[in-house]
C-alpha cells in the first residue's frame, strides 16, 4: 500500500461531512500483532468459535479436497488458523498467503515455510478487494480460497457480493471457505468489540499512530477514544475514533478540527445469518456446498463451490 494512496484516502475521508478512513489502514505489522492478541481473549467469541469449527471439520474438508491441494488465504495475517487445515490435508502442494501488511506477511510466510518444508509458499502482498496477481495455477491441484477471521463481515451486502464475485474470478474453478458471524446479541457484541483490556481500542487507534509515522500527521492519539455503535438494520457494529476534547489533525497544509464527541468512522462488522450469506454468495455465482455452525448458532463456516 503506497504512501500516496494512504494520504489521499485519509485527506478525502477527513474532508467528508461524515468523516471516515478505510479500515484497511489499521492493518500494518502492529495492527496484525494486536489482532492476534484479541483472538486469544475469551470475549472475542468469533475467533474462539471459528477455531473450534475449523478443528472439528478440517478432516471433512480435507476429504472433499483430496491430496495435493493449493490454499489461497485472503487476509492471512499471522497464518495461524490455516495450520489447522494444513495439518489435516493430504500433502498440500502450495500455500498462497495474501495480506496488505508487507513486513508481517513476509515474516509469517517464512514461519509457515519452515513448518511445512514440502509445501511451496508464495506470499502475495496486496489489497484483496481488487484483482490479484496470483502465481500460476498448479496442474491437477484442487484450489481452496480461505477467508477466516470474520473479515468478510467488514463488508456491507452490496460490497460483499462484489468481493465474492471478484474472488470467484481470481480463483477460477475452486472452493471457498469463509467464516461468518451472525451474532446480534448486544451484550456479546459489546464485550467482543469494546473489550475491557483495551486491545480493540489499541487496534483502532493504531490507525492514528500510522498516520503520524507514515504521513507525518500532527495529532495527539490520546485525544481520541475507541467507541462502538450497534445497529439493527442492517445488523452491524460500527467502530469509531471519538474526540475526547477539542483537537485537530494536521496533514501538510490541511487542518481538520474536532469538537468533543466528533468521530472518525474506522470500520464496520456486519452480521449475516447463514441463509442471508448463502443468498449473497449465490448472487455472486457461488454454489453453497456446506454450512457448519456451533451449537448456539453464534458463528458459521461456509464452504462454497464455483
Average pLDDT, the chain: 93
Q: What is the largest CA-CA distance in the chain?
A: 61
Report the share of the chain in percent with pLDDT over 90.
82
Rounded Cα distance, 133 and 226, in Å: 36
Bridge partners, 232 (sequence order): 235
Decide yes or no: CATH 3.40.50.150 for domain 45-182+272-305.
Answer: yes
pTM reported for the whole predicted model: 0.91
pLDDT at 128 over 80: no
Q: Could you give the residue range(s) of every CATH 3.40.50.150 domain in the chain? A: 45-182+272-305
What pLDDT score was predicted for residue 75?
Answer: 87
What pLDDT score was predicted for residue 1?
Answer: 60
What pLDDT score was predicted for residue 103?
Answer: 81
pLDDT at 130 over 80: no
Amino acid at each position: 500500500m503506497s504512501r500516496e494512496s494512504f494520504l489521499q484516502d485519509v485527506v478525502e475521508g477527513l474532508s467528508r461531512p461524515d468523516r471516515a478512513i478505510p479500515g484497511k489502514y489499521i492493518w500494518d505489522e502492529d495492527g496484525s500483532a494486536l489482532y492476534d492478541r484479541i483472538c486469544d481473549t475469551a470475549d472475542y467469541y468469533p475467533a474462539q468459535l471459528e477455531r473450534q469449527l475449523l478443528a472439528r471439520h478440517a478432516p471433512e474438508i480435507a476429504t472433499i479436497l483430496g491430496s495435493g491441494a493449493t490454499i489461497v488465504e485472503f487476509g492471512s495475517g499471522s497464518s495461524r488458523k490455516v495450520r489447522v487445515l494444513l495439518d489435516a490435508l493430504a500433502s498440500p502442494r502450495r500455500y498462497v498467503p495474501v495480506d496488505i501488511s508487507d513486513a508481517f506477511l513476509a515474516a509469517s510466510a517464512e514461519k509457515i515455510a519452515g513448518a511445512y518444508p514440502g509445501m511451496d509458499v508464495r506470499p502475495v502482498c496486496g489489497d484483496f478487494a481488487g484483482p490479484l496477481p496470483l502465481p500460476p495455477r498448479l496442474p491437477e491441484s484442487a484450489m481452496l480460497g480461505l477467508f477466516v477471521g470474520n473479515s468478510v463481515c467488514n463488508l456491507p451486502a452490496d460490497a460483499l457480493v462484489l468481493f465474492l464475485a471478484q474472488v470467484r474470478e481470481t480463483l477460477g474453478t475452486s472452493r471457498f471457505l469463509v467464516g461468518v458471524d451472525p451474532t446480534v446479541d448486544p451484550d456479546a457484541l459489546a464485550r467482543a468489540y469494546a473489550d475491557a483490556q483495551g486491545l480493540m481500542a489499541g487496534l483502532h487507534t493504531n490507525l492514528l499512530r500510522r498516520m503520524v509515522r507514515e504521513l507525518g500527521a500532527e495529532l495527539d492519539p490520546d485525544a481520541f477514544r475507541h467507541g462502538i455503535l450497534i445497529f439493527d438494520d442492517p445488523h452491524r457494529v460500527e467502530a469509531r475514533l471519538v474526540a475526547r476534547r477539542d483537537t485537530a489533525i494536521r496533514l501538510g497544509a490541511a487542518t481538520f478540527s474536532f469538537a468533543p464527541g466528533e468521530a472518525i468512522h474506522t470500520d464496520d462488522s456486519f452480521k449475516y445469518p447463514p441463509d442471508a450469506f448463502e443468498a449473497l454468495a449465490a448472487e455472486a455465482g457461488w454454489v453453497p456446498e456446506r454450512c457448519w455452525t456451533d451449537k448456539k448458532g453464534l458463528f458459521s463456516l461456509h464452504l462454497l463451490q464455483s
